[in-house]
Amino acid sequence: MKTLEIPTFECETGNYHTFCPISCVAWLYQKIEDSSFLVVGTKTRGYFLQSALGVTIFAEPRYAMAESEEGDISAQLNDQEELERICLRVKNDRNPSVIIWIGTCTTEIIKMDLEGIAPKLEKQLGIPIVVARANGLDYAFTQGEDTALAAMTHRCPECDYRITDEEVNKAKSLVVDRDQNNNLFDRKKELPKFNLVLFGSLPSSVASQLNLESRRQSVSVSGWLPSQKYADLPALGKGVYVCGVNPFLSRTATTLMRRRKCQLIGAPFPIGPDGTRAWIEKICSAFDLKPDGLEKRESQIWKSLSDYLEILTGKSIFFMGDNLLEISLARFLIRCGMVVYEVGIPYMDKRYQAAELLLLQRTCEKMKKPTPRIVEKPDNYSQVQRMHELQPDLAITGMAHANPLEARNIDTKWSVEFTFAQIHGFVNARDALELVTRPLRRRAESIYGCRNLSKQMVNN
């Protein structure tokens, strides 16, 4: 049997060059509808959030700033009294079901005891207070969500997973029914013999799509972390299977296993038709279920993407590293026919992404493409030099480097766009490729002066 080529892993600088992790507020406040976020930091953090949330200003983001002044930093003021005053105002204005404190670089530097203050104020105000540290000193861009979800796992109720004799007798009395294709199936198989919780913040429409895909395989999702309502947090404990939808949630996965004793399903992530199929298959195998119709469904999606595949086949791409989605996106684009020169990634948990790395290797072998170099905490200066030599057709980069690279005649796409876009599942694969191909189509339009891309244009 031919052995798969193992990717080369390197670590260059030990520093994070990413978007600020407190930006997780931008999507978490939309997901947890009855929440309110309190970001504890200086005015600089407030300015950043105003910019990051500028596109959603009409949605009235539910967050507040506890701005640290000279008195706070020099320990002249009482932290608990100041936070109590702000939280009381948040309670009166919003009446949220939960207040989530987001710690920043400032709270780390001045050693503010958020975890010690929170229980006292929670008891005093009668509102749950969850503390999540999302500082850029210890965490990369999307890991802000990871720390928030890891903190929230401790607030999930304990799962009392027991089936009574009455429920067993009721199950035996169910009759055989027919599905939409008029095939016989036993309704007893629809009973919750297992408990599956998915973790990761996705828009409600995308979460519903993944729920439906699982349901088609007779797997019912019992809950999501986070949930839309704080009171609906899923029950966790022994006998509960958990599976992630994003590669940057390694801390949450570890907390679910070690602290809540859940069983982690190590799967590739549902990005692209190939990743979505592998993700569902891994969930099915955990419950000894045989997947039904996944191969056909994946094939149909690939056919619907043929116009994008014509543009991408043979093109090259370079990931500088920002949002920790790089491995999954690289694997998907290699399957689309691209050559990936390098995958920069701020943080790499090889255990949590083991299944994704294996799928990457298999995809490279299947598509007869070279295995990309993987660089953890890359040095941006060295990356720019490598790109100057390799001359990729496209670079996925943070916003800070986009304009300099464009000036060097390298087309770019902001990595932050993939964070906010709907790219998970079978249905949204087209949206992901729309983002990737847009710079390439723009370049072709400027060269040929027309909006219709023929194969000849693409190949040239």
Q: Could you give the 3-state DSSP secondary structure of residue 387?
A: helix
Q: Could you give the 3-state DSSP secondary structure of residue 433?
A: helix
User: What whole-number distance in Å separates Cα of residue 323 and Cα of residue 347?
Assistant: 9
Which tokens is 333 given? 């684009």
pLDDT at position 456: 43
Which tokens is 316 given? 């090259």
Q: Could you give the 3-state DSSP secondary structure of residue 50?
A: helix
Q: What are the structural domains of the chain?
A: 21-139 (3.40.50.1980), 182-292 (3.40.50.1980), 297-459 (3.40.50.1980)
Beta bridge partners of 317: 340, 394
pLDDT at position 143: 82
User: What whole-number distance in Å separates Cα of residue 144 and Cα of residue 249?
Assistant: 10
User: What whole-number distance in Å separates Cα of residue 332 and Cα of residue 318?
Assistant: 14
pLDDT at position 77: 59
* pTM for the whole structure: 0.85
- Residue whose token pair is 């958990």: 242
Of 436, 240, 422, residue with least CA distance to 335: 436
Which tokens is 139 given? 């965490």
pLDDT at position 161: 58
User: What whole-number distance in Å separates Cα of residue 298 and Cα of residue 306?
Assistant: 13
pLDDT in tens, the chain (460 residues): 455 555 777 888 766 677 778 778 888 888 888 888 888 877 777 767 777 666 455 556 677 777 665 555 555 556 788 888 888 988 988 889 999 988 887 777 778 888 888 899 999 999 999 999 887 777 778 888 999 999 999 999 998 755 444 543 443 343 333 344 444 344 444 444 579 999 999 999 999 999 999 999 989 899 999 999 999 999 999 989 999 999 999 999 999 999 999 999 999 999 999 999 999 999 999 999 999 899 999 999 999 999 999 999 999 999 998 889 999 999 999 999 999 999 999 888 999 999 999 999 999 999 999 999 999 988 888 898 999 999 999 999 988 888 888 888 889 999 889 988 999 999 999 999 999 999 998 877 766 555 554 444 444 4
pLDDT at position 29: 83
Q: Could you give the 3-state DSSP secondary structure of residue 73?
A: helix
What is the Cα gyration radius of the chain? 24
Which tokens is 378 given? 């890359």
pLDDT at position 364: 94
Whole-angstrom CA distances from 77 to 72, 74, 82, 83, 119 are: 5, 8, 8, 11, 20
User: What whole-number distance in Å separates Cα of residue 149 and Cα of residue 130?
Assistant: 10
382 and 320 in contact (C-beta within 8 Å)? no
219 and 289 in contact (C-beta within 8 Å)? yes
Of 287, 298, 149, 172, residue with least CA distance to 220: 287
How many CB atoms within 10 Å of residue 369?
16
Whole-angstrom CA distances from 403 to 400, 413, 419 are: 7, 10, 20
- Residue whose token pair is 């955990």: 286
User: What whole-number distance in Å separates Cα of residue 336 and Cα of residue 308?
Assistant: 9
Q: How many residues belong to the chain? A: 460
User: What whole-number distance in Å separates Cα of residue 283 and Cα of residue 267?
Assistant: 8
279 and 425 in contact (C-beta within 8 Å)? no
For residue 257, what are the contacts with CB-CB under 8 A and spacing of at least 6? Answer: 242, 263, 264
129 and 209 in contact (C-beta within 8 Å)? no
pLDDT at position 175: 31
Whole-angstrom CA distances from 222 to 193, 204, 207, 340 are: 11, 15, 12, 37
Ordered alpha helix ranges (H), 139-191: 143-153, 165-172
Q: Could you give the 3-state DSSP secondary structure of residue 38?
A: strand
Cα dihedral sign for 165, 241, 235, 225?
Answer: negative
User: What whole-number distance in Å separates Cα of residue 446 and Cα of residue 139?
Assistant: 39
- Burial call 381-394: b when 16+ CB within 10 Å, e when fewer: eebbebbeeeebbb
375-403 pLDDT, tens digit per residue, is 998 888 889 899 999 999 999 998 888 88
Positions of E strands within 292-436? 316-319, 339-345, 373-376, 394-397, 411-414
